[in-house]
Amino acid sequence: MSPRVGDLVAERATNTFVGRAFELRILLDALKADGPSVIHVHGIAGVGKSSLLGAFVHRAREQGAAVVQFDCRSLEPTERRFLDHLATELGQPSGSVEEAAEAVGALGERVIVALDSYELFRLLDTWLRQAFVPVLDRHVRVILVGREPPVAGWLATPGWEGMFRGLTLGPLDEVDALSLLEGAGVGAEEGQRLNRAVHGHPLALRLAASAALQRDSLDLQEVAIQSVVQELARLYLSDVRDVRTRRALEAASVVRRMTLPLLESMLPEAPAQEVFARLRRLPFAEVGSDGLRLHEAVQQAISTELRSVAPDLYRGYRRAAWRHLRTELRTGGSPDLWRYTADMLYLLENPLVREGFFPSGAQEFVVEPARPADGTALMSIVARYDGPEGQRLIRGYWDRAIDAFHVVRRRDERIVGFYLMLDNLALDRAPMEADPVGARWLDHLRRDPLTRGQRAVFVRRWLSEEHGEGLSAVQASCWLDSKRTVMALRPSLRRCYLAMRDLDPYLPFVTKLEFRELPEATATVDGAVFRTALLDWGPTSVDGWLARLVADELGIIEDDGRILDVAARELVVDGRRASLTKLEFGVMRTLCEHEGKVVSRARLIEDVWGYDFVGESNVVDVIVRGLRQKLGPCASTIETVRGAGYRFKRALSS
């Protein structure tokens, strides 16, 4: 049988792999009967983590091991999507975690499950550690490769001693660094000079070799490695003489991944297929299952330079990417949803949101589902901040909905905080109805119902042992962990209700995320006033919300006047404001969120009134007439599509 292209590519990559003998020996220990069950490899960007993993996978297969490999960059960090992807890789229907583990174990006598770019899977780390890895057969090994060190749970949880090993990947030693440069065509003397500047950093070595071969002299100072990579990327870009290739490189630097349709949208005058082919040939570009990516260190260097020297061009690329991604988001199917979510998150520069989904830096605490034995420690935290009534209410939730509690642990397993998040479709209503805060939320849902299949989450209590509701590392850990639920419930997730006694310190942050205070949900417990902040993601759930945040950052809505002010629930026309009734706001928001598309009367009734509405569809016509009156000179933005419904159509500025 002739070799496959993929096999030839893997073999070629292995043949050009340099050094790392010590690290490879450690990874190959996983194939031994008494080897560690989990090995976690981490190191800075460009240090060669993926190359090391590729070399190990090749050698493991040579030794007869079966390998299942994941690229976390293109995989949604939720339990269901992980199991679905695993089932696809194994060629079988998706099932439970136990069924998946059994199928993995049946692949052979030695099995490797490898996850690359694992830092993007931080939301799923607790589930993998607590639910997936423990049910794997002993002959299955898990290799985790990413930028960040392992979270504390792998190191501190009893029972992992001897079964978990961490491996820090540093620069290449001088012999291996010179060997890499020699393989790239750089002479020994020049190689020594270059390596003194780049300190054995593999990506910098390759960039330096490329630049040195194109220039008579390459002057590099011995500075921090990130500065070296930035300077080399700038030099590489300056050597690109073809304007189209340069523009394509700039465009690719501001997006998470580049596809042919996206390139056509961002550079409409360029021959997209030809330019895309040129990008593929770059030494720091990689084509995967969901598009082309530049190496993250080079990508960051180019985008930083572009933003500094040509801010208007940088912004224009991002605006063009947003328009294309928004269109794809509306037309793409469910399997592609995560790709567009991640794409929008990459475009978004709001650090509060980006850190909430893709955290950077080591995490001090472990957040995990509460265990029955945690009740005493959890309630002792509640007793520090709540009176008798508050303690009784939280105890009621604990007795009826323990699965809704998530605790924050230190390395020594001590609980230092928790949060309580409930889901309306998996809810025991008894403790909520007995709770003044929960009862207000349920009442709001009755008066402003969700449509069938939509979900709401309720964050009832959120406490740190030391800081209570205040800003702290414990609270940040809870915020991060809650995003796992948010990701898992989209696209059906519509609202989040959040209760706090001292909401004011958070308002400057949460209002930027489209939270608004809900005065009618204010309630008193133990004489203390609890205020509610509500985030309504809208009919398009989290993904539509992200698109709105990016649009606000890029000034896309403001450039031609904001017609709908969501926070104020007002129309804005020629600088004049008009307040909206609850139904007018619901209809206008739904039309705006489906801009350019026809929305049927039935759909409007479903989204705005809910399935409990009884009446004639001409009630929509009455609301639209009222909106047109308030829109005045902009009344034509709501078009009637005979026999179909209504369409909101407004050209966005370029």
Q: How do residues 555-566 score in pLDDT, each as one tens digit?
A: 774 333 457 877
Strand-strand pairing, 66-71 and 111-116 = parallel
What CATH number does residue 418 fall under? 3.40.630.30
The residue-averaged pLDDT of 450-462 equals: 90
Cα gap 335→134, rounded to integer Å: 28
470 touches 487 (CB < 8 A): no
Assigned domain for 359 exists = no
Highest mean pLDDT among 9-18, 383-392, 498-507, 618-627: 383-392
Question: Has this prediction a pTM greater than 0.85?
Answer: no
Q: Which domain holds residue 642?
A: 557-648
Residue with tokens 């300077």: 231
Please report the pLDDT score of residue 14 as a whole number.
Answer: 46
Highest mean pLDDT among 318-327, 387-396, 566-575, 615-624: 387-396
- Same domain for 77 and 110, yes or no, is yes
Please report the pLDDT score of residue 575 as a whole number.
Answer: 63
Of 11, 104, 95, 22, the C-alpha closest to 59 is 11
How sure is the predictor about 108, in pLDDT bands with cuts at 50, 70 and 90? very high
pLDDT at 99 over 90: yes
SS3 content of the chain, % helix, strand, coil (to 5): 55, 15, 30
What CATH number does residue 34 fall under? 3.40.50.300
Please report the pLDDT score of residue 9 as a whole number.
Answer: 39
pLDDT at 133 over 90: yes
pLDDT at 629 over 50: yes
- Same domain for 485 and 395, yes or no, is yes
Question: The tokens of 579 are what?
Answer: 């307040």
Cα gap 193→285, rounded to integer Å: 26
Please report the pLDDT score of residue 651 as a whole number.
Answer: 47
- Same domain for 18 and 114, yes or no, is yes
**Residue 258 vs residue 206, higher pLDDT:** 258
How sure is the predictor about 63, in pLDDT bands with cuts at 50, 70 and 90? very high
- Same domain for 607 and 633, yes or no, is yes
Please report the pLDDT score of residue 138 as a whole number.
Answer: 93
Highest mean pLDDT among 327-331, 420-424, 570-574: 420-424
The average confidence (pLDDT) of the chain is: 85
The residue-averaged pLDDT of 4-9 equals: 40
- Same domain for 294 and 411, yes or no, is no
- Same domain for 155 and 204, yes or no, is no
> Lowest-pLDDT range, 72-81, 194-203, 411-420, 517-526?
194-203
- Same domain for 162 and 201, yes or no, is no
Assigned domain for 357 exists = no
> Lowest-pLDDT range, 197-206, 304-313, 363-372?
197-206
**Domain total in the chain:** 5
Q: How do residues 38-57 score in pLDDT, each as one tens digit?
A: 999 998 888 889 999 999 99
What CATH number does residue 611 fall under? 1.10.10.10
Cα gap 101→107, rounded to integer Å: 10
372 residue type, one letter: P
Of 541, 574, 609, the residue at which a domain comes to its end is 541
Please report the pLDDT score of residue 475 as a whole number.
Answer: 87
